Structure 1
Amino acid sequence: MASIRELHQQLIQKERCAVEIAQEALDTIQKLEPKLHSFITVTAERALEQAKQVDARIAAGEEIGLLAGIPVAIKDNLCTQGIRTTCASHILENFIPPYESTVTTKLAEAGTVMVGKTNLDEFAMGGSTETSAIQQTANPWDLKRVPGGSSGGSAAAVAGGECVVSLGSDTGGSIRQPASFCGIVGMKPTYGLVSRYGLVAFASSLDQIGPFARTVEDAAILLGEIAGHDPKDSTSLNVEIPDYTRYLVPDLKGKKVGVIQETFGEGLDPEVEKAVRGAIAQLKDLGAEIQEISCPRFRYGIAAYYIIAPSEASANLARYDGVKYGMRIEDAENLIDMYTRTRARGFGPEVKRRIMIGTYALSAGYYDAYYLKAQKVRTLIKQDFEKAFEKVDVLVCPTAPTTAFKAGDKSADPLSMYLVDLMTIPVNLAGLPGMSLPCGFDSSGMPVGLQIIGNVLREDQVFQVGYAYEQATDWHRRSPKLKSPKLKSPKPKSPKLK
């Protein structure tokens, strides 16, 4: 599928209409969903109606923005009024929100065409989209492999050409890691840059919404639309949002790029290292000054994260009790029985695991030993980044230690699954912007991701470095062929049409 700017030109020059573009996306979804399973709900009627409105505006001579008529997919943990929002969990399987999230409101006002809600790990807890209670999403490059997680459906939809761009959420790498696995661009903004109003909370001090796209420019355009202050979100930053596309220049002269030493070594796939080292050499050729940078507490990020995030999840998921909304067991003997059986049946194993870890860490006698100590480590990690940014403009490292693994390979070993987010988690703990973009392929033909990390509110520099690298390479121009053998996994439920 063409880029945002290419489709915009086709629309304003009346070479194509928005309905035609929307129908093309819906046809692709219908064709690929039996293989990919990216979508939980396909919103065909709504998409065509939104496209008709864009065509009517063009016919009336109105000017339209860059995103008008662009097919977009939304991760199914963002509330959409009148359209079910499941979080890929049985407990919310039939929940239809009475209100709209801020980001989807902004996209609707911009004239985007929402083609559907995408699959994810249940309540965004997972790194492969295998914990979804609805279905298992496949990687477009190899249907036997995972697309990453938790925003696997959003990443697979963009990589497979089912939409132009999509939205995901990133708590510990849930945008960047699937972007790496699927060979596309994924951006986690500075914490607070994008409103979380209407995002179903996992870990409130870490969650952030961001874009998936085939190119850095498309990601910059989409982020510029959804970013900005929102009084409905108490953590929203009241800052001016620049036009990120102004910083997309193919020149890195004078830019200082730091390579995080701690991300190379034991546990890193040699083929991933080779691709990332090659990307760093390319940045140097583009004029950047390369420095080795040490972030000594970087490696402790994963331990701190798996105390802080489950603790916040334990508090946030207490609201799913069968009383107010979502699943409710009807034949309970009493209130406690209803609570217990509703949550036991409604939550999957990974969500239960994290609730129990978090509840334990917050319990009397353990709060200081675990939660408080993890928060202190978080501060130390943030200080390491602050020192690093005194020397360099951006930091680079691999996005993930490996390329996409086969479905089922890590299901029985939660710890090995958690380690997949080793490189991305510290960025969330520090609240920094980070982007993954493709920088090569391994010998199995699976994409490798380069992670670019910026200082607080320096998305402009992340985009600049990413764009310059992208323009000097052709990784982003490669597309999966979707010719891999069919999955042997159980047949998933069909997406519901709305």
Structure 2
Amino acid sequence: MVNHPADSAARCEEAYAKAQELQEKLNAVITFVDPKEQLSQLPEGGLLHGVPIAIKDNVNTKGIRTTSGSRILSNYFPIYDATITKKLREAGAVCIAKASMDELAMGGTNLTCFTGAAHNPWDTRRMTGGSSGGSAALVAAGVVPMAIGSDTGDSVRKPASYCGVVGVKPTYGRISRYGIIPYASSLDHVGYFTRSVEDACITLEVLAGRDDLDVTSSNRPVEHYTEALNDSIQSKKIAILGNVIDSVSNPETVKLFNELVEKLKAAGAVVDTYHFDDKLMRAILPTYYTIANCEAASNHSNLDGIRFGVREDGADMQEIMTNSRTKGFGPLIRRRFVIGSYGLFEANQERIFRKAQKVRRLIVNAMKECFKEYDCILAPASGTIAPFIDEINNDDKLSTDYLVAENYMAMANFSGDPSMTVPMGFEEGCPIGVNLTCPAWHESTMFTIAKAIEDITGYRDLQTEVK
């Protein structure tokens, strides 16, 4: 990923042109950003000097439209950069696109963006996953070597699986969230996509660190994560998440995973099957929806056409707000706000919102118990390859396959532990990934194991020609 200064202009112009060329097929970009002005102001010596990147459209970019995938913010031009935008500029990265996303980051399909659905580069009939699907698609299509996303449930790690790239969600507080349009503040993490574990290490070295503008950011020293690439997985203890394996109905996914496990054992890792309480695993998704929807309803109460957002006509202030929110949000968002507001009513908080917080704590405690013995939790990042867009509503939402196999990764958002997805194999010509979760602040261990998996599979720098 690291660029040679002499190649910077040509590389960025090529990425910009390719993003535009593929837009009709992928629809992965909300706003294109001409790199010329940035190229004229590149700092010297940055780790990402002249590297073209894409940034998810919920990250503030000064003077560049930032919509969070929602019609209500389609006229929002930030007057300041998010901290990570500033860090990327200082490192020499060049943003060529604001990437498509699910509206307000609330979704796992990337079908709800106000500009339309994003399409998977490996098979444009299939979805990218969400909510950071546009970023994943641009990396998988070879447009950019790195793209920024955000992860509240699995919004980086699931698209990484579907698009065949590396997707990283570091420890809560490792990367500043200042200047990022929130979804659910206790669950939101900055994440990113690359095509190799090495590039993932380099990116975290750029983005990590304390930010006085974000009180949740940590002052822990930033490690040299690339050093972890040379470490051995000999005697690393890995817990296979048995609940997920038991819930995956696709035998090809299980076969790919079991083959990987055997190779990890041969490389010296100690691998055991570990089961969480089944009731806790089935509770992950409803707990996530309860907490996330309640926090989102509060976070976005200012999007009313008066304080922020596109304003619709009305006879009085109340009617303006009602019309602006009704027309400004898609049906999924309106439904989630109703659910979240209901859970925050004083009469309901104890039995809905606070109960969900208690269940969250039980799940986090169970993870801590596992990490007393193991260095890493491992499982397929999804039960299947990316679904076809026109079949997305066919899932049985109460099935164990859906509740556990497709949604368990939100547990790392509950705990704030670092978690990442790397490519595991292919089914029907489309990629599928494996997910690793490690204890808080153990990104180096996570990268060591991820690099071992990358070496075993040989899936480094995967990209596809879009047809």
- Which of 301, 323, 328 aligns to 2:311? It is 328
Deviation at 1:293, TM superposition (A): 1.6
List per-residue Cα deviations over 1:162-189 (Å, max 9, x = no partner).
1110000000000000000000000001
The one-letter amino acid paired with 2:190 is I
Cα pair distance change 1:416/1:294, threshold 3 Å: closer
Contact 2:165–2:462 (CA<8 Å) still a contact in 1? no
- What SS does structure 2 have at the residue aligned with 1:73? strand
Q: Following superposition of structure 1 onto structure 2, how do residues 194-233 of structure 1 map, counting pairs within 5 Å? A: 194-233=175-214
1:50 aligned onto 2:38: yes
1:140 counterpart SS class: coil
Q: Secondary structure at the match of 1:324?
A: coil
**When the two structures are aligned, how many residues end up with a matched partner?**
462
Q: Compute the displacement of 1:294 (Å).
A: 2.1
- What is the rounded CA distance, in whole Å, between the counterparts of 1:163 and 1:111 in structure 2? 14
Question: What is the CA–CA distance in structure 2 between the aligned matches of 1:175 and 1:477, rounded to whole Å?
Answer: 17
For 1:435 and 1:314, how far apart are their aligned partners in 2?
Answer: 28
Following superposition of structure 1 onto structure 2, how do residues 387-402 of structure 1 map, counting pairs within 5 Å? 387-402=369-384
Q: In structure 1, what is the Cα distance between the partners aligned to 2:288 and 2:429?
A: 31
Shift of 1:99: 1.2
Distance 2:350 2:116 in 1: 39
Deviation at 1:49, TM superposition (A): 2.4
Q: Structure 1 stretch 243-252 or stretch 216-225: which is displaced more?
A: 243-252
Contact 1:279 1:450 in 2 (8 A): no
**TM-score by structure 2 length?**
0.95
Q: Percent identity?
A: 39
1:407 aligns with 2:389: yes
C-alpha distance in structure 1 between counterparts of 2:396 and 2:275, whole Å: 29
Amino acid at match of 1:395: I
Give the corresponding residue for 2:293: 310
1:35-74 matches, within 5 Å, as 35-44=25-34, 47-54=35-42, 64-74=45-55
Instruction: Give the Å deviation of 1:28.
Output: 1.3
Do the aligned residues in 2 keep the contact of 1:228 with 1:241 (CA within 8 Å)? yes
Amino acid at match of 1:366: N
Answer whether contact 1:256 1:289 (CA < 8 A) is retained. yes
1:22 aligns to 2:22 (yes or no) = no
Q: Work out the CA distance in 2 between the residues paired with 1:167 and 1:199.
A: 11
User: Given the alignment, which residue of 256, 279, 287 partners 2:268?
Assistant: 287
TM-score normalized by the length of structure 1: 0.90
User: In the TM superposition, what whole-angstrom CA distance separates every residue of 1:250-284 from its partner, at most 9, and x where no partner exists?
Assistant: 63112111111111123442222222222222211
- Structure 2 residue 456 is the aligned partner of structure 1 residue 472: yes
Maintained 8 Å contact 1:299/1:422: no
Q: In structure 1, the residue corresponding to 2:191 is in which secondary structure?
A: strand
Q: Per the alignment, in what secondary structure is the counterpart of residue 476 of structure 1?
A: coil
Shift of 1:414: 9.4
- When the two chains are superposed, the root-mean-square deviation of aligned CA atoms in Å is 1.7
Q: How far apart, CA to CA, are the structure 2 residues paired with 1:207 and 1:353?
A: 20
Partner Cα distance (1:432, 1:204) in 2:
15
- Do the aligned partners of residues 53 and 335 (structure 1) sit closer, same or farther apart at CA in structure 2, a change above 3 Å counting? closer
Structure 1: distance between partners of 2:59 and 2:396: 26
CA distances 1:369-395 after superposition (whole Å, capped 9, x unpaired): 111111111111111111111111111
Inter-partner Cα distance in structure 2 for 1:428 and 1:373 = 17
- 1:403-427 deviation line (CA, Å, top 9, x unaligned): 1001132247794898474121111
Question: Structure 1 residue 447 and structure 2 residue 431: aligned?
Answer: yes
Correspondent of 1:359 among 329, 334, 341: 341
Aligned equivalent of 2:104 = 123
Distance 2:261 2:30 in 1: 38
Unaligned runs of 5+ in 2: none
Return the alpha-carbon distance in structure 1 between the equivalents of residues 130 and 415 of structure 2.
20
Q: Which residue does the alignment assign to 2:419?
A: 434
- Contact (CA 8 Å) 1:80, 1:99: kept in 2 or not? yes
